[in-house]
Amino acid sequence: MNRLFRDMCKNDGLRQRFMISISAIQVVFSIIVMIILNIQPILWVNVFGLVSLLMSFYVIKQKRAYILYAAFTLYASGSILFTTRFLEKGYGFVYYLIVIIPFGFVILYDIVSFKKMVMSTMAGSLIALITYVLYHLLINEYQPVSGGSPLFQEAVLYINIFMIMVLLFVFSLMFSFRLECSKEREKLMRDQLSYEASHDKLTRLYNRKFIDTLIEPIQRAVGEVYIILADLNDFKKINDTYGHSVGDQVLFDVTNRIQKHLPKEAYALRWGGEEFIVVCLNQNQETIQTYIHEVKQSIEQIRYTEYPNLSISIAMGLSNYNPTQTIDQTIQKADHAMYQDKKEYKGLNR
């Protein structure tokens, strides 16, 4: 059951089809009553109504719920007025007019604008009111006789009242559930926006702005705090030689290596372009040096069968955070250390 409701939350059409299926039960009940009373005209009207409900599944699939609501309102009103020629008072079918109002809110919510939803349901309510007045005027004029016994009539009345209560409960439940779905979607949207604001789109690492979020944890850290600044060697040459799509793939694969060996209480950020920063909280230098060695070795092992001559390496600089200095000063020290590492790489690869 929980899975069904979760699917309904994700799928407006599934929720609407569920409500139509519940409504179809009432129409089937009306058909049974007309068969027992042998009132052929109303029987065929209800058969037509049942077929229309089944066809409405296609309308929902096409996301034209407003057509479904208009058809439902006209069918409900028309069939009730039609009963004044053949069916006397007391069966309770007229009370189904009440269902028109909540049905409109549920079926149209989030499908059309709020203004159109209110106007549509107001129109449906007005049609229901006019139908109710006309029902009493016509039935008093025609004074139809159904031929059913008083006991049967009373049984049908109570069943109709019960089914109306069930429909109202289901529609109210679906509307409340739809509101909860909207809240959940808004939360997911806020979470997504928050994620996008703090993460890099390509690598899915934290972005440069996230460093502001880390300032407080850095200052509050009990143990040593280290900052690693890393920069891919000759990345411009990779882009120029193999294209930016290959360059993006290299960045993505390098990101995986950086994250794979990441120590606990460490955060990896894409600082910009081919630069990365790793902030390590409550660590010791030996652990960080091991991490740097593992990352460098892992990145150098990246190979592409399509580009056998493509080699990848990364320069990394380490600095220890000093509470008497700013984060920017610590990053500058890491940048200087990384520059020295890059000079060594260039010296070996002349």
Domain boundary pick from 196, 223, 245: 196
Picking from 280, 345, 283, 287, the residue whose alpha carbon sits closest to that of residue 316 is: 345
The mean pLDDT value of the chain amounts to: 86
Q: Where are the alpha helices (DSSP H) in 62-149?
A: 65-82, 100-108, 114-142
Ranges of the chain whose pLDDT falls below 70: 1-16, 57-65, 110, 349-350
Q: Which pLDDT belongs to residue 247? A: 93
Domain boundary pick from 196, 220, 245: 196
Residues 216 and 127 in one domain: no
Q: Which pLDDT belongs to residue 1? A: 46
Per-residue exposure over 75-98, b if at least 16 CB sit within 10 Å of its own CB, e if not: bbbebbbebbebbbbebbbbbbbe
pTM flag (> 0.85): no
For residues 89 and 139, the answer to whether their CB atoms sit within 8 Å is: yes
Q: Which pLDDT belongs to residue 60? A: 60
Q: How many domains are contained in the chain?
A: 2
Residues 266 and 170 in one domain: no
CA pair distance 140, 187, nearest whole angstrom = 55
Q: Where are the beta strands (DSSP E) in 155-283?
A: 224-232, 266-272, 275-283
What percent of the chain clears pLDDT 70, i.e. is strictly above it?
A: 92
For 276, how many CA atoms within 13 A lie in the half-sphere containing its CB?
30
Residues 103 and 14 in one domain: yes
Q: Which pLDDT belongs to residue 229? A: 95
φ, ψ (nearest 5 deg) of residue 228: -110, 125
Per-residue exposure over 49-59, b if at least 16 CB sit within 10 Å of its own CB, e if not: bbebbeebeeb
Helix (H, G, I), strand (E, B) or coil at 264: coil
Residues 225 and 308 in one domain: yes
Q: Which pLDDT belongs to residue 159? A: 93
CB-count burial class (<10 Å; 0-12, 13-18, 19+) for 163: buried
Q: Which pLDDT belongs to residue 62? A: 52
Q: Does residue 202 fall inside a structural domain? A: no
- Interval 21-73: pLDDT, tens: 888 888 899 999 999 999 998 899 889 888 877 777 666 655 666 777 888 88
Q: Does residue 201 fall inside a structural domain? A: no
CA pair distance 240, 310, nearest whole angstrom = 12
- Domain encompassing residue 21: 2-196
Domain boundary pick from 148, 173, 196: 196
Q: Which pLDDT belongs to residue 5? A: 52
Residue that the structure tokens 């926006």 belong to: 193
- Interval 274-313: pLDDT, tens: 999 999 999 888 999 999 999 999 999 999 999 999 999 9
CA pair distance 111, 3, nearest whole angstrom = 23
Q: Where are the beta strands (DSSP E) in the chain?
A: 224-232, 266-272, 275-283, 314-320
Q: Does residue 302 fall inside a structural domain? A: yes
Residues 228 and 180 in one domain: no
